């Protein structure tokens, strides 16, 4: 993943396009239940890559601390 991020060619806006194209291919070639499983898997991968992209562009780890008022 780091190589893709360093290349600078992977953008946040690419993910919805890629997932839609992949979803269309799944629907065209697989039974509905099988396509749904592959789609869920692709969306999980996409979420992880988007998180990595956001993390890479932020310069560090996200602040997960929650301060109670």
Instruction: Dump pLDDT digits (tens) for 4-57.
Output: 667 778 888 888 999 999 999 999 999 999 999 999 999 999 888 888 777 655
- What is the Cα–Cα distance from 43 to 13, expressed in whole angstroms? 14
The domain locations on the chain are 2-56
Helix, strand, coil distribution of the chain in percent, nearest 5: 70, 0, 30
Nearest to 62 by CA among 54, 34, 15: 54
Query: What pTM was estimated for this model as a whole?
Result: 0.69
């Amino acid at each position: 993943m780091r190589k893709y991020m360093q290349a600078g060619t992977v953008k946040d806006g690419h993910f919805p396009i890629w997932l839609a194209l992949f979803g269309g291919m799944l629907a065209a070639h697989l039974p509905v239940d099988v396509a749904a499983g592959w789609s869920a898997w692709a969306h999980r991968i996409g979420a992880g890559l988007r998180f990595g992209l956001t993390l890479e562009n932020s310069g560090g780890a996200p602040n997960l601390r929650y301060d109670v008022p």
